Amino acid sequence: MKYFAAVALSAALSLYPCASVLALSLHGFVGGAGGFRLTDDPAQARDATMGEGRLQVELSQDGPADSRLFFKADLIGDGVEERGDADLREFYLDVSPAQVIDIRAGRQILTWGTGDLIFINDLFPKDFVSYFIGRSLEYLKVGSDAVKFSLYPGLFSLDLVAVPHFTASEVPQGERLSFFNPFTNRIAAPGESLSILSMRKPAATPENTELALRLYRTFGSYEGALYGFRGFFKEPVGMDPAGGTLFYPGLSVYGTSVQGPLLGGVAGFEFGYYDSREDRPGRNPLIENPSLRYLVGYERELRTDFTVRAQYYLEQMLEHGAYKASLPPGAPEKKEYRHLLFLRVTRLLRYQTVELSFIGFYGPSDEDGMVNPQASCKITDRMSVALGANVFFGKKGSTQFGQLEKDDNLYLRLRASY
Amino acid sequence: MAKRCFVWFSAVVLLFLPIGGLFSRALAGTPGEAEEIMRRSALVQFYSGNDMRANVTMRLLSKDGGERVRELIMTRRNVKAGGDQKYFILFRQPADVRDMTFLVWKYPQRDSDRWLYIPAIKLVKRIAANDKRSSFVGSDFSYEDVSGRAAEEDNHALLREEKYEGKEILVIKSVPKDAKSADFGYKVSWIDKGNFVLWKEEYYDKRGSLSKVFTADEVKPIQGFPTTVKRTMKNVQTGHWTETAYGEVKYNLGLADGVFSERSLRNPPKELAR
């Protein structure tokens, strides 16, 4: 796939002189980003968390009858992993075979739901490593190889996504960021990366095709949605001690969300029932339990160009008793309720060309969290720079942010768009 | 002594108050008339046709020579003339916002509903928008300057009639009924007596100093509607100003209400994208 992306990218670049003749639209950016650790991490050999140059090429070509071909890929020179790489971000075809149907086929980024950096019904792959080391927000999302059908019969709208080929989320696995090794019950040692422990992905068979559905409509100023998903966890939350592997257990999700104006701001609520199909009774501690997940969010512009968003997330393990009874001695115990608080504060200055932002997560139940202050500036219409830090804290290595406790980093990004 | 003075003073004030009132009313017309002029002017500025689209180019200029350019395609549809409206905006420039789309359902009497679509992550984001005075895309124009302020939100008075650049002009002063609903203390509008085009508007801050000046630099008839195709908003306190040009303006395209939806945000149809 990488080779294909590289070939497609060079082909695309060679088309540049003909772009205007073909009515192609060609855009992208050249950028550099660097980041380094603020504390010494005994589990990590390198001080750098990021050091890369990127060339992004985006091509789009309108075809007959509202069709469109879209291509976006990055060529990357990576100083941390000391290699060159090509990343095919998106490559899809849009067609509208009828007035009320849109179809998008190919590698595409999919996003839905009401959360800000907290996802319940959005079960499409994400790259949390990129987010935690300070890449720009677009790299939080990873493309899925999928077909999306969107239907607009009138009273409501419907998105139906079929993903024949499973794509996992990127999670910390020891290469740039530390991770908690569930087999040894401690933060992994240097060189001990998750990719060395093998991660078993679901086979690309017809019955493993993931399906995601969203049914939505507006009620005046309010938006309501119902969601359904049948597929697999995107994080490796299943363990196979016999084979020494981690895997992605079967998952079905049923959820709903509402969003609309409240007290001069916007409020949202989202809910999901996570049916962990391979451990419904919750007696297998090696597979994630079924759970209920709730998210309440509220955002308001407190004064001009000063916006605050707060979120409260609750994850309720459904079979906690069975889980606790089956837990081997010495294994870290997850609590029945996991609470997570989120705050985002954004201030725009100088005709909205300077943005100061602060993002904070705090989990009172896991006693962990992170903060991400960032200052960014659009130097000109084409040039931008961002400087920020990610600081993690946590008492236990087994929690989401606790495992990253020694991965605090400072990052700087520069980008020139064309 | 002081008491007697006060009584005399009060009597004089009481005697002249109604006369003063009559006098000023004769000069200014009735407040209802002034409000009607502002309402008709708003219809011309923001409601011409059933719908409208334009290629909007904004040049953001600072006194030290800095220049930034915003290019967008703006489409609007009247749900009701003088009332609710829907706006769809597709950004073309600068590069970091290219292909972003923005949907506004505007209600004169309450907060708008706003959605922003960020194509890089395919995210439709609901925007909290209780501040209509916040800057539109970093320019000197506020959201309200782009989509209009309801005439009912202010008390209006006709100050005078005068000649302005060869045109018969009605000069109207407007004071917000709720001071918190605006970032200006009052504004003065120069409105064409013939076709109700707004030629100039001065905004005064809450201390009474001039803060921003709007001028219509070119107005031409398009499909019979007088259309301000060039306009400037200057912040006289900072020296920053924004020149806006409306190109390829078309009215009455016959856009359906359903076009102003999440579907278009994610995948803008050709009638909104070119």
For residue B138, the domain's CATH number is 2.50.20.10
Are A146 and A108 spatial neighbours (Cβ–Cβ below 8 Å)? yes
Percentage of chain B beyond pLDDT 90 is: 71
Average pLDDT, chain A: 91
Q: Which residue has the higher pLDDT, A197 or A255?
A: A255
Return the number of CB contacts < 8 Å for A and B: 96
B122 closest CA partner among A136, A111, A163:
A111
Nearest to B57 by CA among B66, B67, B65, B47: B67
Query: What are the structure tokens assigned to A353, written together?
Result: 């060309």
Of B96, B121, B128, the CB nearest to A378: B96
| Residue pair B215/B232 in contact by the 8 Å Cβ criterion | yes
Cα separation values, A310 from A180, A272, A281, A399, Å:
28, 19, 34, 22
Instruction: Look at A8-12, A208-212, B20-24, B75-79 and tell me which has the smallest mean pLDDT.
Output: B20-24
Tokens for B212? 């921003």
**B2 found inside a domain:** no
Query: Which of A307, A352, A382 has its CB closest to that of B138?
Result: A352
B residues 83-142 near A, CB within 8 Å? 93-96, 98, 105, 111, 113, 120-124, 126-131, 133-135, 137-139
Beta strands A245-247 and A198-200, pairing class: parallel
Check CB contact under 8 Å for B263 and A29: no
Q: Is residue B19's pLDDT more than 50?
A: no
A91-370+387-408 CATH choice from 2.40.160, 2.60.120, 3.30.310, 1.10.3210: 2.40.160
Residue B15 lies in a domain: no
- Are A351 and B262 within 8 A, CB to CB? no
At B26, the pLDDT band (50, 70, 90 cuts) reads: very low
Quick: pLDDT tens for A136-180: 999 999 999 999 999 999 899 999 999 999 999 999 888 888 888
Q: State how far the Cα of A259 lies from the Cα of A257, in Å rounded to an integer.
A: 7
**Minimal Cβ distance to B130: which of A112, A265, A417:** A265
- Of residues B122, B137, B138, nearest to A110 (C-beta): B122
Asked if residue B18 belongs to a domain, the reply is no
Q: Are strands B51-61 and B167-176 parallel, antiparallel or unpaired?
A: unpaired
Inter-chain touch B126–A266, beta carbons under 8 Å: yes
Give how far the C-alpha of residue B97 lies from the chain's centroid of Cα atoms, to the nearest Å.
Answer: 24
pLDDT digits (tens, 9 = 90+) for B207-247: 999 999 999 999 999 999 999 999 999 999 999 999 999 99
B217 occurs within a structural domain: yes
Determine which of B60, B71, B122, B242 to mutate to test the interface with A (most A C-beta atoms within 10 Å). Answer: B122
Give pLDDT tens digits for A295-331. Answer: 999 999 998 899 999 999 999 999 999 999 998 888 8
pLDDT for res B8: 57
Cross-strand bridge partners of residue A180? A187
Q: What is the pLDDT of residue B27?
A: 44
Contact A241, A266 (CB under 8 A): no
> Is B111 contained in some domain?
yes
Assess contact for A102 and A150: CB atoms under 8 A: yes
Q: What local confidence, expressed as pLDDT, does residue A332 receive?
A: 85
Contact A88, A281 (CB under 8 A): no
Name B71's bridge partners.
B57, B93
* B96 within a domain of the structure (yes/no): yes
* A239, pLDDT greater than 60: yes
The candidate with the shortest Cα–Cα distance to A106, out of A3, A234, A1, A23, is A1
Give the dihedral sign, CA B48/B53/B55/B60. positive
Mutate to test the interface with A, among B79, B84, B121, B178 (most CBs of A within 10 A): B121
For B261, the token pair is 């939806």
* pTM across the whole model: 0.89
Q: What is the pLDDT of residue B5?
A: 54
Dist. CA B64–CA B103, nearest whole Å = 34
CB count in 10 Å sphere of residue A398: 20
Number of domains into which chain B is organized: 1
- Which residues in chain A are closer than 8 Å to B258, comparing Cβ atoms? 152, 154
Tokens representing A399? 């929690």
d(CA B53, CA B56): 9
**Of the partner residues B93, B130, B240, the one whose CB lies closest to the CB of residue A300:** B130
Residue B53 has pLDDT above 80, yes or no: yes
State the smallest CA–CA distance between residue A406 and chain B in angstroms.
29
Q: What length is written for chain B? A: 274
Q: Are B216 and B122 in contact (CB under 8 A)?
A: no
B181 Cβ under 8 Å from any chain A Cβ: no
How far, rounded to the nearest angstrom, does the alpha carbon of residue A1 sit from its chain's CA centroid?
21
Contact between B226 and B218 under an 8 Å Cβ cutoff? The reply is no
Contact A27 B68 (CB under 8 A): no
Q: Give the separation between CA B51 and CA B224, rounded to whole angstroms.
A: 14
Question: Containing domain of residue B178, as a range?
Answer: 31-273
* Contact across the interface for B127 and A266, Cβ inside 8 Å: yes
> Which CA distances in Å does A249 have to A207, A286, B189?
14, 10, 66
Report the chain A residue with the minimal C-alpha distance to residue B59: A381
Would you state the pLDDT for residue B226? Answer: 97
